[in-house]
Amino acid sequence: MHKYICLLLSVCLLSASCGRQETVAFPAEGDTIPLRYAENLTLLRNDSFTVARLRNPWDTAATLHTYILIERDQPQPSQLPEGTVVRVPLRRAVVYSSVHCSLLDELEVLDAVGGVCDPTYIQMEKIQKGIREGRIQDYGDSMNPDIERIMDTHPDALMPSPFENSGGYGRLEKLQIPIIECADYMETSPLGRAEWIRFYGRLFGRTQQADSLFLAIEQQYNTLKAQAAGCAGRPTVLSDLRTGGSWYVPGSRSTISRLYADAAARSVFDDRPESGSVALSFETVFEQAQNADFWLVKYYRSTDMTRSDLKADYASYARFRPFAEGRIYGCNTSHVRYYEETPFHPERLLADFVALFHPEVLPNHSFRYFTPLP
């Protein structure tokens, strides 16, 4: 639908932080690019630029950031709405997470990754090879990146993930380099997060490819959801393991709980209203989840975990009914690309869940992430 949006802006000189440039009051008119699922992202297409507005997920009445995407080979308009000017396509970006590196690889723009943070956690051979060969810079810890090295290489943009009450980005905000805040992980629906593919595609000159990719993901996801909806019964699911003295379980509004629901199952803790994880004691989890129908665990080990390993780690795990009945399924993230793939490909994870909870729906399914613990 064609919409005209008028942004009432005062004439201002934006600070140098985040690479912002001088802008003046100007009504940003154009076509709203329809987004069906993302709650924290809006896109507006103008003849001369695209406006990407990120809603603050921790204060939904506020804006987290506004970006003005201008084609690299076009002159900058004399009047722009308030926001951070970003010249696209990006040619040399600093990418903080393996999730976004994986997406850029799929969009065939991995050459635009000029540097990464926390490379130990990016299990992509293309990235590791680029670092070894010096084509990709290692900027160190994402919480305290190497500012001097970033200044020396002067990338087109930085792509961190924002956190609530983080206090900003410190010295990075003074580098006059656009900071693209990758807040996709704060979406509370699987397709909502995946729809951010369309924003990232526009940053890297892959608009059509990104739109087509998301359309295919959406169609497959909704087909699987519809197939599962006709199943009888809704098995209960327990997630993960305790960490230290706490067990983090998903709230009912979390992405994983919504995936369970779309696979015609439900989290044992679907009475919790949170959109993220909730820390509970082992005793509380056991009381509510001891008779769950399925137990799904993610772990990182050099060898695949067995139920004996699980019991050796914590003897009380054996008290859960799924342990005794052999309905524990594990995902070893040391070699399974769960974290790299599932944020932008929820349809792949949903297929695993549907086949697991209702095998009659997908009898020939080949599991991608979860396999039984022997």
Q: What CATH number should be reported for the domain holding residue 146?
A: 3.40.50.1980
Inform me whether the pLDDT recorded for 123 exceeds 90: no
What are the distances in angstroms from CA 69 to CA 16, 44, 47? Answer: 17, 10, 11
> Are 283 and 163 contained in the same domain?
no
Are residues 203 and 94 in contact, defined by beta-carbon separation less than 8 angstroms? no
> Are 66 and 94 contained in the same domain?
yes
> Are 204 and 257 contained in the same domain?
no
| Dist. CA 131–CA 116, nearest whole Å | 9
Confirm whether 222 is domain-assigned. no
Q: Which of 152, 185, 214 is at the close of a domain?
A: 214
Q: Which of 184, 214, 244 is at the close of a domain?
A: 214
Q: Which of 154, 181, 214 is at the close of a domain?
A: 214
> Are 62 and 124 contained in the same domain?
yes
CA 232 and chain centroid, separation:
31
Confirm whether 242 is domain-assigned. yes
Inform me whether the pLDDT recorded for 246 exceeds 60: yes
Q: Which domain holds residue 319?
A: 234-372
| Dist. CA 317–CA 349, nearest whole Å | 25
> Are 206 and 238 contained in the same domain?
no
Range list of H helices, the chain: 98-106, 125-132, 147-153, 190-194, 197-203, 207-229, 255-262, 282-289, 307-313, 321-325, 338-341, 346-357
How many structural domains comprise the chain? 2
Confirm whether 76 is domain-assigned. yes
Q: What is the pLDDT of residues 64-107, one digit of tens each?
A: 999 999 999 999 998 899 999 999 999 999 999 999 999 999 99
> Are 29 and 122 contained in the same domain?
yes
> Are 206 and 280 contained in the same domain?
no
Inform me whether the pLDDT recorded for 8 exceeds 50: no
Inform me whether the pLDDT recorded for 287 exceeds 60: yes
Q: Looking at residue 131, what is its pLDDT?
A: 96
Q: Which residue in this structure is represented by tokens 């399924």?
A: 329
Q: Is the dihedral of CA 106, 111, 114, 115 positive or negative?
A: positive
> Are 193 and 115 contained in the same domain?
yes
**Which among 67, 84, 87 has a CA at the least distance from the CA of 20?**
84
Inform me whether the pLDDT recorded for 161 exceeds 90: no
Q: Looking at residue 174, what is its pLDDT?
A: 83
- Per the model's pLDDT, the better-predicted residue between 170 and 225 turns out to be 225
Confirm whether 185 is domain-assigned. yes
Over range 297-307, report the average pLDDT.
Answer: 93
Which segment of 4-8, 151-155, 181-185, 224-228 scores lowest on mean pLDDT?
4-8
Q: Looking at residue 13, what is its pLDDT?
A: 31
**Which among 276, 373, 287 has a CA at the least distance from the CA of 330?**
373
**pLDDT class of 2 with cuts at 50, 70, 90:** very low
Strand order in the sheet with 50-55: 31-33, 41-45, 50-55, 63-71, 84-88
Which segment of 13-27, 106-120, 186-200, 330-344 scores lowest on mean pLDDT?
13-27
Over range 133-158, report the average pLDDT.
Answer: 92
> Are 180 and 101 contained in the same domain?
yes
Q: Looking at residue 165, what is its pLDDT?
A: 57
CA 57 and chain centroid, separation:
14
Inform me whether the pLDDT recorded for 4 exceeds 70: no
> Are 201 and 244 contained in the same domain?
no
Reduced to 3 states (helix: H, G, I; strand: E, B; else coil), residue 153 is helix
Confirm whether 223 is domain-assigned. no
What letter does residue 179 receive in the DSSP assignment? Answer: B
> Are 141 and 286 contained in the same domain?
no
**pLDDT class of 21 with cuts at 50, 70, 90:** very low
Confirm whether 4 is domain-assigned. no
**Which among 73, 35, 79 has a CA at the least distance from the CA of 53?**
35
Confirm whether 227 is domain-assigned. no
Confirm whether 7 is domain-assigned. no
Exposed / middle / buried, residue 173 (Cβ in 10 Å: 0-12, 13-18, 19+): middle
In sequence order, which residues have a C-beta less than 8 Å from that of residue 296 and are 6 or more positions away?
A: 237, 238, 239, 240, 328, 329, 330, 331, 370
| Dist. CA 329–CA 241, nearest whole Å | 12
Alpha-carbon torsion, ordered 83, 89, 91, 96, to 10 deg? 60
Inform me whether the pLDDT recorded for 284 exceeds 90: yes
> Are 41 and 187 contained in the same domain?
yes
